[in-house]
Chains A and B, each alone.
Chain A
Amino acid sequence: MKKGEGFSPEVLLGVFFAAVALFLLLFFLYKVGFNQASQEDLCRLSVLSRATAPDSASALIPLKCTTQKICLRSSRGTCAESFAGEDSVEVTLPSDQDKAVRIIESTIADSLYSCWSMMGQGKLDLFSRYSSSMNFVRAEPKCVICSRVAVDSDVDPAVLQKVDVRKYMRDNQVPGRDLTYLEAFTDRDFSSYANVDENILNQYSDSAKSLSTGQGRQIAFVFMQIKVKSFSDSFLDLAKQAGTVAGTSFIIAPKTSAAIARVVAFTPAGAISALAVAGGTAGYMYINSKQSQTLAAGYCGAFNTKTDQGDEKGCSLVQAVPYSFQNINQLCSSIEGTP
């Protein structure tokens, strides 16, 4: 062997620069990267990461969404009853009632819109798992609590009675956009989208008024999503996957695969067993699919995000609910994100 052969300077230089570049990347990730990103940016990034991952891997990507706490207070209030021990953003309401009403309305409208926007506007499938997409388990409504708005007890209840979120969302534009809040929710630019009907607008307004009477005077803005795949779609997917597995096994181990195929296809016991497994699986998937659709219909009611992907049913929505564990747990089987 000639001296120096295999250790050319170019190769060594290339490896050295690659190692330096990767070291800098590691340093960035540890020290600089995600620590300084805003909470919203982190949430958006995690939402996009999960939505673009395959179903089998999406569970590995946590949603880095932290519930934002907003305290609406008078000059002396602290929302200690609601947010003691928690970091919160404090918004001081002016003594002028009309101005205070506007601030409350804009806070609620902004909370609703940012929740909807951050979670993908209902266009992203965030909670799908392989087991539920194949109807091996029943689909369940899953949530992220985007934010909680609390009103300090020092704020006059008469102010809250004047709040009209519905009118505010109709008449005011989203900051930075040329659409009103209502138009942004109905998203004139896209054809398949959630419809915010009168019931939902009334609910938003009622929730705001509940701040004057509800326990802790607090409402939560909750993104909920439930997605159901039809039995035909999931069974077809399963059949395709089974075909892929069978084809692959024939390539890797043709003799063994052929022997198994002979047993299954040409012996009574094998054929009956295969049919029983296939039938049982199909039946189980069918039952889960029907139960999931019934559950989704109950949760979604008149509010349905229709997609153009076959018979997929379910919905995505943002709810403004008085913050109690009964209200939230009735809506959400599980909650992700950081409180």
Chain B
Amino acid sequence: MNRLGEKISENVVGITVVAIGIGILLGALVIGYYSFTSNQDTEKAKAVLDSLEGKIGVLKDGETGRFIVQGPADWYLLGWNKDNPDAPGRCSLKSCLCVCKERIVKSCQDTSSGLCRTFDAGTLTVKSSVSDGLSPKGLDLPLYTGVEYIQFPKNLVELRVSKTDGGIYIGASK
């Protein structure tokens, strides 16, 4: 019995040491992987918003510009007016443009699945090329009523941006 107890206690120590070593190694590999891959979709979303912010800033009132963007595939471009109480909290009651993984406010609020940028405009309207009320994936998704969207394809999309009467209008070219 004492011999058995000794053997078990020796093995437990060895196994524990090995488990800790493997755990640390796996942790290093996982952290290294995520450090390397980071979140490319979020980076693309930021690039889209940076680009749009710069290009909208160059437009004068009454002008329309066409801008090509490469957004994260299957994410959405959504916009809210400054008076819209249902806009994501991070919009701070300003006109707001967001690139989000899903078409719900919660997705736009979470920094890992959505990014937003505020604009100094009275209205900010995003018009999709899809008819009102229709969702490409069916009506069973939590579609945010009243907010249209542009879904980013796997390649490029051309956005038409108009500045008129203090408002910004964004649509997708077909």
A and B, one complex?
yes
A329 on interface, CB distance cutoff 8 Å: yes
Interface size class of B (residues with CB under 8 A): 35 or more
Known: A19-B24, A85-B53, A86-B51. 16 other contacts (CB 8 A): A1-B5, A6-B13, A11-B13, A15-B17, A26-B27, A30-B35, A34-B36, A64-B37, A67-B70, A84-B51, A143-B155, A145-B70, A215-B66, A328-B156, A335-B154, A339-B47
Q: Does A266 contact B (CB under 8 A)?
A: no
Chain B residues, Cβ within 8 Å of A22: 24-25, 28
Residue ID in chain A nearest B71 by CB atoms: A339
Please, how many angstroms separate the alpha-carbon atoms of A6 and B173 in the complex? 71
Please report the total number of A residues contacting B with Cβ < 8 Å: 40
**Residues B6 and A5 in contact, CB atoms below 8 Å apart:** yes
Question: 7 closest Cβ contacts across the A-B interface?
Answer: A85-B54, A334-B154, A84-B54, A6-B13, A339-B70, A325-B156, A325-B158
Consensus secondary structure, chain A interface: mixed
Inter-chain CA distance A85–B6, complex, in Å, is 69
> Contacts A1-B9, A5-B6, A15-B17 hold; do A339 and B69 have CB atoms under 8 A apart?
yes
Among A6, A18, A332, A333, the residue within 8 A (CB) of B21 is A18
Q: Which residues of B contact A329 (CB under 8 A)?
A: 153, 155-156
- Number of CB contacts from chain A to chain B under 8 A: 105
Shortest CB distance A153–B (Å)? 13
Let me know if A61 is at the binding interface, CB within 8 A. Answer: yes
Known contacts A6-B9, A64-B36; A25 and B44 CB within 8 A of each other: no
Query: B21: which A residues are within 8 A, CB to CB?
Result: 15, 18
**Could you pull out 14 A-B pairs where Cβ atoms are within 8 angstroms?**
A1-B2, A1-B9, A29-B31, A62-B37, A64-B37, A81-B58, A84-B57, A85-B53, A85-B54, A86-B54, A324-B158, A335-B154, A339-B51, A339-B70
Interface residues, chain A, with chain B CB atoms under 8 Å away: 1, 5-7, 11, 15, 18-19, 22, 25-26, 29-30, 33-34, 46, 60-62, 64, 67, 80-81, 84-86, 143, 145, 215, 323-325, 328-329, 332-335, 338-339
